Amino acid sequence: MVDVAFPPNRVAGAGGTRKRSSLRTALKRKSTTAFLMTLPLILLIVILVIYPAFFSLHLATLNKSMQRFVGLGNFEFLFKRDTFWLVVKQSCIFALTAVFFKALIGFIVAHFVHNIPAKGQRKWRGMLLVPWVIPPAMSTLAWLWLFDPSYSAFNYTLSFFGVGPIPWTGDAAWARFSVILVNIWVGAPFFMIMYLAALKSVPDQLYEAAAIDGANWWQRIWYVTLPMMRNIIAITTLFSLIVTFANFDIVRILTAGGPLDHTHIFATWAFRVGIEGSDVPLGASVSLFMLPILAIAAIFILRDINKRGNEA
């Protein structure tokens, strides 16, 4: 530290010394060390996230052969196509329905698991997490077999009740139902585990106080559990909304967007148009549509959390 304590007039003559000492001071500063240690991650994000994001912005302004700048031409083209609006509608239905049911089922299952005595709880927690842990591409293949119209387990079982055969992935409505069902199956455990953690953090005495205050089972959930879990519910929903909106693997494997584009969502249609249809700029334009929708959702949900802060 002695070198930085030099009086200014003595260093004034020797510019080199000064430069070196200020570099040394900079290295000694905590913030510099912190920056250097996070640099690998920052580089990774720049290379894998920020650069591709801006590159796709750039791509979206080119023509199909990527030779000519067309400005917002790709977007104008998209707006005029019915399929695009179909994809917008389907993405919204897919994400909202799936997230709603994931949250609902997660909430209910979390309550059941929470009420299991501590001894057996770990087992159940582990088993219930399995759908979320298996790579979705693998589990969706298994679902694909289950959904097969002619020899699948589902239709076979249903045939005993005189129902079916149901065209799980062949009919537009059923196909939408199927992709949403598989998405719920994959995603509900995540909600379950988050809600379970939130439930465990609610002090028992609050429930006891509510019981003495005269609250019944439903009032305890409404006035104690839900308000205490509000932040977790909001963050989990936002996170899941983003992931579900951007989902690719389940739809791609189960229906590949069919029948007749009736299960396409942004990511799968962008892939269809951009990669399979060899119109990369148009595909980039489609994928960019997720951004504003999710940004608005994020602003609303996060603003609410900031406003509330941590009440406990």
Partner 1 sequence: MADVSLRKVVKRYDEVEAVRGIDLDISDHEFIVLVGPSGCGKSTTLRMIAGLEDITDGDITIDGDVVNDVPPKDRDIAMVFQNYALYPHMTVAENMSFGLRLKHYPKAEIKARVTEAARLLDITDLIDRKPKQLSGGQRQRVAMGRAIVRNPKVFLFDEPLSNLDAKLRVQMRIEIKKVHQKVRTTTVYVTHDQVEAMTLADRVVVMNNGRIEQIGTPNELYHRPATRFVAGFIGSPAMNFMPCRLEDAGGTLTIRLTDRIAFPLPGPRAARYTALPRSEGLLLGIRPEHITEKRPHAEPGIESFDAVLDVTEPMGMETLVYFTLDGIQVCGRVNPGAGAKDGAPMRLAIDLNNMHLLNEATGVVL
Q: Which residues contact partner 1 (rule: CB under 8 A)?
A: 203, 205-206, 208-216, 219, 223-224, 227-228, 230, 310-312
At closest approach, how far in Å is the CB of 188 from partner 1?
26
Report yes or no: 131 and 186 within 8 Å, Cβ to Cβ.
Answer: yes
Residues 191, 195, 197, 198: is their CA dihedral positive or negative? Answer: positive
Report yes or no: 293 and 266 within 8 Å, Cβ to Cβ.
Answer: no
At closest approach, how far in Å is the CB of 214 from partner 1?
4
* Distances 209 to 196, 197, 204, 228 between C-alpha atoms, Å: 21, 21, 9, 14
Distance CA(218)–CA(239), nearest Å, equals: 27
Report yes or no: 246 and 266 within 8 Å, Cβ to Cβ.
Answer: yes
At closest approach, how far in Å is the CB of 301 from partner 1?
17
At closest approach, how far in Å is the CB of 174 from partner 1?
43
SS3 state of residue 62: strand
Q: Which is nearer to partner 1, 19 or 308 (CB)?
A: 308
Which residue type is seen at 28?
Answer: K
Q: Which is nearer to partner 1, 99 or 229 (CB)?
A: 229
Sole residue written with tokens 């679902």: 143
Q: Which is nearer to partner 1, 64 or 230 (CB)?
A: 230
Sole residue written with tokens 């009736």: 262
Q: Which is nearer to partner 1, 114 or 220 (CB)?
A: 220
Q: Which is nearer to partner 1, 2 or 212 (CB)?
A: 212
Q: Which is nearer to partner 1, 77 or 223 (CB)?
A: 223
In degrees, rounded to 5, the angle at the alpha carbon of residue 135 between the alpha carbons of residues 134 and 137 is 130
Take residue 225 and report the two structure tokens written for it: 């559990």
Burial (CB count within 10 angstroms: exposed 0-12, middle 13-18, buried 19+), residue 165: middle
At closest approach, how far in Å is the CB of 212 from partner 1?
5
Q: What is the DSSP letter of 105?
A: H
Distance CA(88)–CA(204), nearest Å, equals: 44
Q: Which is nearer to partner 1, 215 or 293 (CB)?
A: 215
At closest approach, how far in Å is the CB of 117 from partner 1?
12
At closest approach, how far in Å is the CB of 210 from partner 1?
8
Distance CA(145)–CA(133), nearest Å, equals: 20
Q: Which is nearer to partner 1, 172 or 234 (CB)?
A: 234
At closest approach, how far in Å is the CB of 204 from partner 1?
9
